């Protein structure tokens, strides 16, 4: 293993998570159906090869689907609170493996170690949420217009839930889906990103232990590994009534059309182009903290990352100067070292997109306030470390209208009232997360009103990143309209059924219709 991997105990973490055949191929855990090509997982931290993974072939996929569909026949009959107990045990296993899994997330994906631990904590939190939910899968009782009739609705499991997740949150987003789907009585087939396959294998191994200990079918949770072709098999498969896909808007449009063509359901969590509005009544210190974390956290590779800062002209220079000063304090380097703020981008392709975005911003008339750069040398040998940049821009710039998965923050100026700032914020095709920094109650309430933010998430005096699992997570417009995690997001994993019971001795018809024989 590399020096960094050895120094920070990555091999020990992998061994604890059931991934032992380093550099020689690894098993996918309990669902050991993989017989396809070899996929190599490299760390963006130091460029080192972590392990080789045997991918899932088309024939393997069919075995997985057979196992999942058979497991559903068993699992759906288990009472929901008992299913909740399985998820509770999974949460306990995550607590036991938090340090090891957090290290793997940090090393394979490149986010800071604290963010890696935080991601595993999100998994634990959604398990706790789902356990309580398992006793609250409620329907409604309604009064019938017919005498001696009772009418109500209930929810049933859908079946096999297909989960396609992205590299930036390689474990948490799967758990948002899996924990809820499991308490709802569904079974899961998961395709993690081909950029972070080991995180997927580790999670599968942990959940597999719980299933084995409870003598439950292995097909309740299945893992498939590979590139987009595995996703295509899932989206075209009529045996999967729901596809939950997280990724780019381009990918989401393909998934949506494919699933809709077979009249399936899709839950889409796609791109974001998130903004913070900064009004003259904002607390500047809070603004800087929220904006910097939102822009550089996970090296700008969150769907909720802050891309745009919309600042009133009266305080623009003051805010810009404070941001530039804060960026000078950022420490960029090995994310496993908790002294560093910013780790690497995921791969060389992401670095290229970062460079092209900055070039394009300048070509369109942008002014660089904090220069971007790609680091080189012994401490940055993966070639994936970049310097967070700040650019003065206009919302109309084509590059500003796009989502670039990199730490580039665009500063936009507005004049007049907060309505003007809201119009700028909403004038993009994405609609995930938004925020306003203000101590003015009227501005805050307007931002949250029907005439305010058009995003799925709207915050006051906090940034765009860092959603809690208790609230439904998702966005509007080209973000896809899906909702995951908290609130009543569980309903998407179930089918609704309306029931009417006649306990009388006659058969009256609805709407007063008479049909006498």
Q: How far is CA 390 from the centre of its chain?
A: 25
Given this model, what pLDDT does residue 422 score?
98
- How many other β-carbons are positioned within 10 Å of the β-carbon of residue 283? 14
Contact in structure between 222 and 189 (CB atoms under 8 Å): yes
Rounded (10°) angle between helices 98-109 and 80-96: 70
**Average pLDDT per block of 10 residues along the chain, 517 residues long:** 92 93 42 77 97 95 97 98 98 98 98 97 98 97 96 98 98 98 98 98 97 97 96 98 97 98 98 98 98 98 98 98 98 96 98 98 98 95 97 98 98 98 98 98 98 98 93 98 97 98 94 87
Give the residues across from 511 on adjacent strands.
none
Given this model, what pLDDT does residue 467 score?
85
Distance CA 330, CA 351 (A): 19
- 61-270+483-496 and 274-470: same fold? no
Given this model, what pLDDT does residue 30 score?
40
The percentage of the chain sitting over the pLDDT mark of 90, rounded to a whole number, equals: 95
Distance CA 164, CA 190 (A): 6
Given this model, what pLDDT does residue 33 score?
58
To the query of whether residue 232 is one of the catalytic residues in this protein, the response is: no
Contact in structure between 314 and 363 (CB atoms under 8 Å): no
Quick one: 436 exposed, middle or buried, by C-beta within 10 A (0-12, 13-18, 19+)? Answer: buried
Parse the chain into domains and list their residue ranges: 61-270+483-496, 274-470
Fold exhibited by the domain 61-270+483-496 = Aldehyde Dehydrogenase; Chain A, domain 1 (3.40.605)
Distance CA 434, CA 462 (A): 10
Mean pLDDT for all residues in the chain: 96
Given this model, what pLDDT does residue 21 score?
53
Distance CA 272, CA 302 (A): 9
Contact in structure between 41 and 67 (CB atoms under 8 Å): no
DSSP 43: -
From the candidates 122, 269, 443, 484, give the one annotated as an active-site residue: 269
For the domain made up of 274-470, the CATH class stated in words is alpha beta
Quick one: 497 exposed, middle or buried, by C-beta within 10 A (0-12, 13-18, 19+)? Answer: exposed
The number of residues in the chain equals 517
């Amino acid at each position: 293993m590399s020096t960094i991997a050895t120094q920070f105990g990555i091999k020990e973490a992998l061994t604890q998570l059931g991934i032992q055949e380093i550099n020689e191929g690894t098993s996918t855990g309990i669902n050991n159906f993989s017989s396809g090509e070899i996929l190599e997982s490299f760390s963006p931290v130091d460029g080192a090869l972590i392990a080789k993974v045997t991918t899932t072939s088309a024939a393997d996929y069919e075995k997985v689907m057979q196992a999942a569909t058979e497991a559903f026949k068993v699992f759906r009959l288990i009472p929901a609170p008992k299913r909740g107990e399985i998820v509770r045990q999974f949460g306990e296993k995550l607590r036991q493996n938090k340090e090891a899994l957090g290290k793997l997330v940090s090393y394979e994906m490149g986010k800071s170690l604290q963010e890696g631990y935080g991601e595993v904590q999100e998994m634990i939190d959604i398990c706790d949420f789902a356990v309580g939910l398992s006793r609250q899968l409620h329907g409604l009782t309604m009064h019938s217009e017919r005498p001696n009739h009772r009418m109500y609705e209930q929810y049933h499991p859908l079946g096999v839930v297909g989960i396609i997740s992205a590299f930036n949150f390689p474990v948490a987003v799967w758990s948002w889906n899996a924990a809820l789907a499991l308490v709802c009585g569904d079974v899961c087939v998961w395709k993690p990103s081909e950029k972070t396959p080991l995180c997927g294998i580790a999670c599968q191994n942990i959940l597999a232990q719980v299933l084995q200990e409870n003598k439950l079918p292995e097909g309740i949770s299945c893992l498939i590994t590979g590139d987009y072709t595995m996703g295509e098999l899932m989206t075209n498969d009529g045996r999967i009534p729901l596809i939950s896909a997280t990724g780019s808007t381009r990918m989401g449009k393909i998934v949506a059309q494919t699933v809709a063509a077979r009249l399936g359901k899709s839950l889409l969590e796609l791109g974001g182009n998130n903004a913070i509005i900064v009004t003259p009544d904002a607390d500047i210190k809070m603004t800087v903290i929220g904006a910097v974390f939102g822009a550089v956290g996970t090296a700008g590779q969150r769907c909720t990352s802050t891309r745009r800062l919309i600042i009133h002209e009266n305080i623009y220079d003051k805010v810009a100067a404070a941001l530039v000063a804060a960026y000078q304090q950022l420490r960029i380097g090995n994310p496993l070292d908790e002294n560093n703020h910013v780790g690497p981008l995921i791969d060389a392709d992401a670095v290229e997109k970062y460079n092209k975005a900055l070039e394009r911003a300048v070509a369109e008339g942008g002014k660089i306030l904090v220069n971007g750069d790609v680091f080189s040398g012994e401490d940055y040998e993966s070639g994936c470390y970049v310097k967070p940049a700040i650019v003065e821009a206009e919302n109309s710039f084509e590059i500003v209208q796009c989502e670039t998965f990199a730490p580039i923050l665009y500063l936009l100026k507005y004049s007049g009232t907060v309505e003007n700032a809201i119009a700028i914020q909403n004038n993009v095709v994405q609609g995930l997360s938004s925020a306003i920094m203000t101590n003015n109650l009227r501005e805050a309430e307007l931002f949250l009103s029907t005439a305010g933010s058009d995003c799925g998430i709207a915050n006051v005096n906090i940034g765009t990143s860092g959603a809690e699992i208790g609230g439904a997570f998702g966005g509007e417009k080209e973000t896809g309209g899906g909702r995951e995690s908290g609130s009543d997001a569980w309903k998407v994993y179930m089918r609704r059924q309306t029931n009417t019971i006649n306990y009388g001795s006659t058969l009256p018809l609805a709407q007063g219709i008479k049909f006498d024989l």
